[in-house]
Amino acid sequence: MNALANLEQHLAAIVSGSDDAIITKSLDGVITSWNPGAERLFGYSAEEAIGQPITILFPAERLDEEAGFIARLRKGERIAHFETVRKRKDGSLVPISLTVSPVCDREGKVVGASKIARDISLQRKAEERQQLLLSEMRHRVSNSFAVASGLLSIAARHADNIDEFVSDMRQRFQTLAAVHSRAVDEPSGAKPEGTNLVHLFSSVLEPFVGDIPALMEVPELNVDPAAITPLSLVIFELATNAVKYGGLSAAGGGISIRAAQHGNRLVIRWEESFITEANSDKVSHSGFGTRMIQSTVTSSLRGTFARELHSKGMRAILDLDLTAVTGTSSNSVGDKEETSSCAKQSKIAVNAEGSSKDSRMNS
């Protein structure tokens, strides 16, 4: 008798100390026991739960599960690792893994059921994050192939020989890879380093500039990681065209980039100095590069792109959604109506060696 009492005491200690919710109920669905794990998971004390119908834990759309459990238990079946959702005392829902076993009397007749419920909220969140990461990876890989295909088309169209083609593509991919590394999460889960508008422009432009003047007056706005790649592609394509035909060509007189915040818009003015008569046909041609810029600006940056030739060169205007660029609303970064009124500006000239001279302009 002492051995039986000791065994019962031992089993009671296991049930009491379990992190899982362990509940027993009668076949008519009334709760008959309730351990501390059930109190922590569902919020009811033992005094509140015992004697209540088990359906107090069921969301309305899950009530039919109980009838199915009872039918299977009467047959002596055990239900293992059934994933479902239950309702806490405060009305919040919790995903659980449920094991239901029949409880029999001395004659072997099923008289009730024992339920073990485990909170799987963290598991569900991990699964959702995994699916999100897989979807993002699939999307990024697909985009990378599309970008590579587009860049190959551009380079092949302009290269005079294989060596030039290979060099051009290597430079493009290295530049995009360096900028892209600031936009993606590390495998460890660390957030991307990110960048600001000044650094983004200077990083992409450095391989193109050489000893031709390149002036930038842009606010030091942080660029949202999701906007880094599309902005880089746009800058890269404009710089490529400038090297081939415009302000960064051998006959060009340089480029200037000025950006200003206007309410919830970021307006970037890209200007090139060159003789339009000799290059007008090529510069004005609306080919793949122009279509790529327009598509990228519209779909990823919620903006517009316009370009026009004039007697001394070319002007392009990008009117972008500030939130799409920075990830924050205009109120978070402060409204500014003109470039000169920005609280902090960077004026950068990139020299032939690729280093940057940086001077601050304060209003």
Q: What digits encode the pLDDT tens for the residues 77-101?
A: 888 889 999 999 999 999 999 999 8
Please check the confidence at residue 74 and state whether its pLDDT lies above 60: yes
pLDDT of residue 97: 93
Q: Which helix (H) or strand (E) holds 346?
A: strand 345-350
Distance CA 201, CA 236 (A): 9
Q: Residue 107 corresponds to which tokens in the numbers above? A: 């004659």
Distance CA 308, CA 279 (A): 13
- Which of 354, 361, 316 lies closest to 218 in space, CA to CA? 361
Q: How far is CA 37 from CA 124, 193, 288, in A?
A: 20, 42, 63
Instruction: Read off the pLDDT of each residue in 8-28 and give the average, rounded to a whole number.
Output: 75
Instruction: Read off the pLDDT of each residue in 126-134 and give the average, rounded to a whole number.
Output: 78
pLDDT of residue 257: 94
For 264-305, what is each residue's pLDDT tens digit?
A: 999 999 999 987 655 455 555 556 677 778 888 988 899 999
Q: Residue 53 corresponds to which tokens in the numbers above? A: 């119908």
Distance CA 57, CA 45 (A): 13
DSSP 3-state of 259: strand
Instruction: Read off the pLDDT of each residue in 245-259 and give the average, rounded to a whole number.
Output: 86
Q: Residue 261 corresponds to which tokens in the numbers above? A: 């915040």
**What count of residues does the chain have?**
363
Q: What angle do CA 40, 54, 48 make, to 5 degrees?
A: 55
Please check the confidence at residue 316 and state whether its pLDDT lies above 90: yes
Q: Which DSSP category does 30 fall into? A: B
pLDDT of residue 171: 72
pLDDT of residue 128: 81
- Which of 135, 344, 136, 337 lies closest to 225 in space, CA to CA? 136
How many angstroms from the chain centroid is the CA of residue 305? Answer: 25
Among the residues of 210-271, which ranges form H helices? 225-244
How many angstroms from the chain centroid is the CA of residue 17? Answer: 41
Output Rg (C-alpha) for the chain, integer angstroms.
33
Q: What percent of the chain has pLDDT over 70?
A: 69
Contacts for 63 with CB less than 8 Å, ≥ 6 apart? 55
Report which of residues 153 and 273 the model is more confident about.
Answer: 273
Are 259 and 316 in contact, with CB atoms under 8 Å apart? no
